[in-house]
Amino acid sequence: MNQDTICAIATAQGGAIGSIRVSGPEAISITSRIFKPGKSNRKFNEQKPYTLTFGRIYNGKEIIDEVLVSLFRSPHSYTGEDCTEITCHGSSYILQQVMQLLIKNGCRMAQPGEYTQRAFLNGKMDLSQAEAVADLIASSSAATHRLAMSQMRGGFSKELTDLRGKLLDFTSMVELELDFSEEDVEFADRQALRQLADEIEEVISRLVNSFNVGNAIKNGVPVAIIGETNAGKSTLLNVLLNEDKAIVSDIHGTTRDVIEDTVNMGGITFRFIDTAGIRETNDMIENLGIERTFQKLDQAEIVLWIVDATDANSQIIQLSEQILPRCEGKHLIVVFNKAEIIHKTQKDSLRTFFQQNFLQEHTDMIFISAKQKLHTDELEKMLVNAAHLPNITQNDIIVTNVRHYEALTKALEAIHRVQEGLDVQISGDFLSQDIREVIFHISDIAGEVTNDMVLQNIFRNFCIGK
């Protein structure tokens, strides 16, 4: 249990209202030293919990501000400790004056994420729920919000707890056999254990496989914009982002490094990656950029191959051997840019050429003019359809956290060893060891076996005040 009392400004600067959170064993008494209720004969530290009290903050006899103060008593608070929340005017001067008074009277400044860390340490939430708090604050779309809410409400934790409970029951029976090894008794039905292992393997596999969707929802669907130099890649990026993010020039090889940014379309976050134009060059720096182009192409889920419609056949023939093999398993959209320059007969010819040469699955084509923003809205709709992201509800359990994914992957490897061990009828002590490894990795997600270094790494990425 933490013995010190912490305080922090919990609201962003610039608003009309500011909030300061105080938590710890002396939270109520320290607040009472600087706050006097307005119309009550009762002192603040005598107020009932879950009440909101109007009054003034004083520095000696000087009034700093008229405020509202909420009071929460342990263990029924966010952190599980005595807490107060001071709501004052949003002036940075007032907020700093109140903070200085709190620190002068015994508080210390809270570290990033320390309130949520105390909530975890005091048993108010497990580690996966605590991590979801940061995801909820950072959520930028309806889908990321729903996933964070689902995890924070404990849906993910409950599924893991159920798995862990079943495994503990079974491993206890296997280990009980070891105590009676000389009597050759079997408490754990191996057939039932194999059935359980199969059920657990199915659940863990589903969670592991959900990470691709979860990662795309949380960090954005990666979309690589590729093509020859001067095909219009940077112009299209600026149109999709609705800002001048990339330098646009008629000079070949302007983009020499990867440019990334995200934008929300149709409720889905896309992470667009503008890459260096692909061409033969002796420029060492440009060649490094082209190498990164192919690296980003390998990482993308959707590929926008930008082709200059005025020289389409030549560009496709030159680059198809380099690009198409790398697009297997991805959604490829061939974008014929500068379409306002060519005639309808040329477009018809390109459509025929496309149908004859692009027979692989998940391939689309579209004619646009990035410069004139012609048909770019249709391209956006095509991107939303290509993302193939499911409709997410707050009841869906989808893995979005890399730490959780790594732990589940290790748990999946361990449960595979349990299945193999049961097939070859290995001894109970080896079987128990593999089962306990599955339990360990599942428990690691909820923070039941996590060390201080891991906790510090997780909570240092939180904002101050949460």
For the annotated binding site for K(+), the residues are: 230, 249, 251, 254
Helical ranges in 105-189 per DSSP H: 114-121, 127-138, 142-152, 155-179
Pull the structure tokens for residue 451.
């060390």
What is the C-alpha to C-alpha distance for residues 400 and 394, in angstroms, rounded to an integer? 14
Q: How far is CA 154 from the centre of its chain?
A: 16
Q: Which residues are annotated as a binding site for (6S)-5-formyl-5,6,7,8-tetrahydrofolate?
A: 21, 85, 124, 466
Pull the structure tokens for residue 377.
């809205």
Strands (E), 217-344: 221-227, 259-265, 268-274, 302-308, 331-337
What is the C-alpha to C-alpha distance for residues 313 and 335, in angstroms, rounded to an integer? 13
Picking from 421, 453, 17, the residue whose alpha carbon sits closest to that of residue 201 is 421
Beta strands 6-9 and 268-274, pairing class:
unpaired
Q: Which residues are annotated as a binding site for GTP?
A: 230-235, 249-255, 274-277
What is the C-alpha to C-alpha distance for residues 54 and 47, in angstroms, rounded to an integer? 12
Q: Which residues are annotated as a binding site for Mg(2+)?
A: 234, 255
Strands (E), 143-282: 221-227, 259-265, 268-274
Contact 43, 29 (CB under 8 A): no
Picking from 268, 295, 253, the residue whose alpha carbon sits closest to that of residue 213 is 268
Q: Which residues are annotated as a binding site?
A: 21, 85, 124, 230-235, 249-255, 274-277, 466
What is the C-alpha to C-alpha distance for residues 352 and 363, in angstroms, rounded to an integer? 14
* Three-state DSSP state, 23: strand
Contact 35, 136 (CB under 8 A): no
Beta strands 62-72 and 108-109, pairing class:
unpaired
Q: 48 in the Ramachandran plot: left (φ > 0), alpha (ψ -120 to 50) or beta?
A: beta
**CB pairs under 8 A, 24+ apart, for 279-285?**
279/228, 279/229, 279/252, 279/253, 281/253, 283/253, 285/256
Helical ranges in 424-451 per DSSP H: 428-446
Contact 25, 81 (CB under 8 A): yes
Picking from 64, 84, 89, the residue whose alpha carbon sits closest to that of residue 13 is 89
